[in-house]
């Protein structure tokens, strides 16, 4: 079956989870999650797959090993297709794309590319076009400039990035519960594609071994 929208009980499910983020709540409402959250996300990814490729839904369990927040469950459902991302929760839909995290070797390649006039200005132009499409540029930034970088570097702000992505939020339930969400996600991902292509060409995946 095609994507018909997320289930109408999604908002109540996540509102309840925010109020009671516990295993008993999750166990009691697992069927709601499967029917109103996960199954629609599977259907959404299936609709997008012919153009963007197969997707992966993130596990609903939080990694609390190094976090002071020990609540066990995420209060949204997120999925990724390569560098693209979509998320559904009580506050609506978030659509994004880029590199949310870069390992050390990726950051090094990114800075080399940004420092170079041709590649760095190409990235700036792509980001300007994305900003004109009402998407927000974001990422983890160094508090100061990278070591050895001239404080007058014309692309200093870009060089400070340790991750780089663009995103937009679609608040409310109307779009989230509608089959029109497929076109909204696809259109936003197409707008972000030039950024992902730049990152793929000049940064690429990490070559560092996984821990």
More confident residue, 178 or 68: 178
- Quick check: 46 pLDDT over 90? yes
More confident residue, 189 or 208: 189
- pLDDT above 90 covers a percentage of the chain that reads 91
pLDDT per position as a tens digit, 123-155: 999 999 998 888 999 999 999 999 999 999 999
CATH topology of domain 10-202: BirA Bifunctional Protein; domain 2 (3.30.930)
Going 111 to 117 to 119 to 122, the CA torsion angle's sign is positive
pLDDT per position as a tens digit, 30-43: 999 999 999 999 99
pLDDT of the residue at 10: 98
pLDDT per position as a tens digit, 153-187: 999 999 999 999 999 999 999 999 999 999 999 99
- CB-CB contact of 69 with 97 (8 Å): no
pLDDT bin (cut points 50, 70, 90) of residue 210 is low
- Quick check: 44 pLDDT over 90? yes
- Quick check: 67 pLDDT over 90? no
Rg (CA), the chain: 19
Domain ranges of the chain: 10-202
- Quick check: 96 pLDDT over 80? yes
Burial class from Cβ neighbours inside 10 Å (0-12, 13-18, 19+) for residue 97 reads buried
pLDDT bin (cut points 50, 70, 90) of residue 66 is confident
- Rounded CA-CA distance 68/89 in Å is 22
pLDDT of the residue at 211: 60
- Rounded CA-CA distance 200/79 in Å is 19
pLDDT bin (cut points 50, 70, 90) of residue 65 is confident
């Amino acid at each position: 079956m095609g994507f018909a929208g997320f289930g109408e009980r999604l908002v109540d499910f996540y509102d309840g989870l925010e109020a009671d983020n516990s295993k008993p709540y999750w166990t009691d409402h697992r069927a709601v999650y499967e029917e109103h959250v996960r199954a629609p996300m599977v259907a959404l990814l299936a609709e997008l797959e012919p153009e963007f490729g197969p997707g992966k839904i993130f596990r609903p369990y939080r990694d609390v090993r190094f976090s002071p927040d020990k609540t066990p469950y995420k209060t949204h459902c997120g999925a990724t297709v390569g560098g693209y991302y979509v998320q559904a929760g009580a506050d609506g839909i978030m659509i994004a794309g880029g590199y949310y995290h870069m390992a050390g070797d990726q950051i090094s390649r990114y800075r080399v590319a940004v420092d170079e006039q041709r590649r760095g200005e190409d990235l700036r132009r792509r980001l300007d076009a994305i900003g004109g499409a009402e998407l927000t540029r974001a990422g983890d930034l160094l508090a100061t400039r990278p070591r050895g970088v001239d404080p007058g570097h014309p692309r200093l702000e870009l060089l400070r990035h340790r991750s780089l992505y663009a995103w937009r939020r679609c608040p409310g339930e109307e779009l989230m519960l509608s089959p029109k969400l497929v076109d909204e996600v696809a259109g936003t991902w197409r707008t972000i594609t030039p950024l992902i292509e730049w990152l793929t060409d000049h940064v690429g995946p990490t070559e560092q071994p996984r821990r």
